[in-house]
Amino acid sequence: MNIRVPGTVMRERRLEATISYTLLALSAAFALFPVMWMLSTSLKSEAEALSLPIRWIPQSPTFDAYVEMWTLKPFGIYFWNSTIVSGLTALLSTALGALAGYGFSRFQFRGRTSLLAFFLATQMISGVLVIGPYFQLLAAVELYNTLTGLIIAYVTICLPFAAWMSKGYFDSIPKELDESGLVDGASRFQIFCRIVMPIAVPGTVSTLLFGFLLAWQDLLWALCLISIDEKRTVTLGVAFTVGEFIIKWPMLTAASLIGSLPTIILYLFLQRFYVEGLARGAVKG
């Protein structure tokens, strides 16, 4: 038996808490330091950003950089494009993924297991393996330089995740509901749309978020499939700004921060659903 004096336990607890807090404080500094430096730069004038020695905190904070990014550069258009692309990617990949997930969950058709494995395997495909021919395909059907071509690619990339996630969710909804629908004379598609899907709405949060974030954060596909300014997404706009001969750091950092804002907000509000879904999806395979 292990009998311990209460004082020892208290001391041990306190030591553990101290170690944890030190670790957490260090990690908070590690996580935030680069972001804070960016925030500080975005609030400086160009002259102050380049003044030496460097200033940690802007002496005369200004929002000029935040104004410039909308006026000197078409970031308004980039944002609009990113919003359209990410929003539609989220909706379409969730809808098509749910359709497939329902099919996998409810029907024992021939080749089902192989098809499930196929969905999983496509997740291993690297973007650079397929993007060249996909680019040629888009050019052939005149979808090069369109948001449509970009959305089709993003939706497809999200589909395996969306299908697996929603299959898991549908598996947890009792089949008796479907049966009762059949008894009432509803078609399979009506059962999916009117009975099962409404119950599965909480399960779609993680797939919606996955699609939106993937499309918002991607660079590779947008870089290869978009070459005209008015179709650029935010990440592409930011990437091109950093490639310019003279970099206006306050404007670039301001644009980067604003460009990250939607994803930061979404993650922080919805991370619980996302993480649960991810952990469940990962454990299930």
Partner 1 sequence: MASGRTWHDRHFGYLFVLPATLMLAAVLVFPAFMTLKLSLTPEGGKGWTFTLSHYQKAFRDPVLLQTFKNTFVFVAWSLAGHLTVGLALALALNQALPGQTFFRLVALIPWTIPDVVAGIIYRWVLNPIHGCLNPLIQMVFPAFPAEFQWLSSPTLAFPSLIFANVWRGYPLVMVMLLAGLMAIPRDLYEAAEVDGAGRFKRFIHVTIPGLRTIIIIALALDMVWEFRRFALVLTMTGGGPGTLTEVLSTLVYKTYFQFFTFEYASAMAILMSAVLFILSLPYIFLVGRER
Within 145-204, which residues bind partner 1 (CB under 8 A)?
A: 152-153, 155-157, 159-160, 163, 188, 192
CB 46 to partner 1: min, Å: 11
CB 223 to partner 1: min, Å: 8
**What is the CB-side half-sphere exposure of residue 183 using CA atoms within 13 A?**
6
CB 87 to partner 1: min, Å: 16
Distance, in Å, from the CA atom of 23 to the CA atom of 30, rounded to the nearest integer, reads: 10
CB 28 to partner 1: min, Å: 5
Q: Which residues are CB-contacts of 241 (< 8 A; sequence separation ≥ 6)?
A: 73, 247, 248, 251, 252, 255
Please identify, using beta-carbon distances, which residue of 24 and 201 lies nearer to partner 1: 24
List 132, 139, 177, 244, residue binding partner 1 (CB under 8 A): 132
Tell me the torsion sign for CA atoms 218, 219, 220, 225.
positive
Q: Decide if 229 contacts 157 (C-beta within 8 A).
A: no
Please identify, using beta-carbon distances, which residue of 198 and 243 lies nearer to partner 1: 243
User: Scanning the structure block, which residue is given the tokens 């706009």?
Assistant: 237
Closest C-alpha among 88, 54, 98, 72 to residue 193: 98
Please identify, using beta-carbon distances, which residue of 182 and 201 lies nearer to partner 1: 182
Closest C-alpha among 63, 41, 65, 35 to residue 54: 41
Q: Which stretch binds partner 1 (CB under 8 A): 67-75, 83-91, 93-101, 199-207?
A: 93-101
Distance, in Å, from the CA atom of 84 to the CA atom of 208, rounded to the nearest integer, reads: 14
Q: Decide if 147 contacts 218 (C-beta within 8 A).
A: no
List 10, 11, 28, 139, residue binding partner 1 (CB under 8 A): 28
**What is the CB-side half-sphere exposure of residue 242 using CA atoms within 13 A?**
10
List 11, 27, 63, 174, residue binding partner 1 (CB under 8 A): 27
CB 120 to partner 1: min, Å: 8
Distance, in Å, from the CA atom of 30 to the CA atom of 24, rounded to the nearest integer, reads: 10
List 106, 231, 232, 248, residue binding partner 1 (CB under 8 A): 106
Does 12 bind partner 1 (CB under 8 A)? Our answer is: yes
Rounded to a whole number of angstroms, the CA Rg of the chain reads 25
Residues within window 206-265 making contact with partner 1, judged by CB under 8 A = 216-220, 223-224, 235, 238-239, 242, 249, 252-253, 256-257, 259-260, 263-264
CB 67 to partner 1: min, Å: 20
Distance, in Å, from the CA atom of 72 to the CA atom of 236, rounded to the nearest integer, reads: 16
Please identify, using beta-carbon distances, which residue of 147 and 257 lies nearer to partner 1: 257
List 66, 70, 80, 267, residue binding partner 1 (CB under 8 A): 267
Helix and strand tally (H, E) in the chain? 14, 0
Q: Which stretch binds partner 1 (CB under 8 A): 58-66, 70-78, 106-114, 195-203?
A: 106-114
Residues within window 42-61 making contact with partner 1, judged by CB under 8 A = 49-50, 52-54, 56
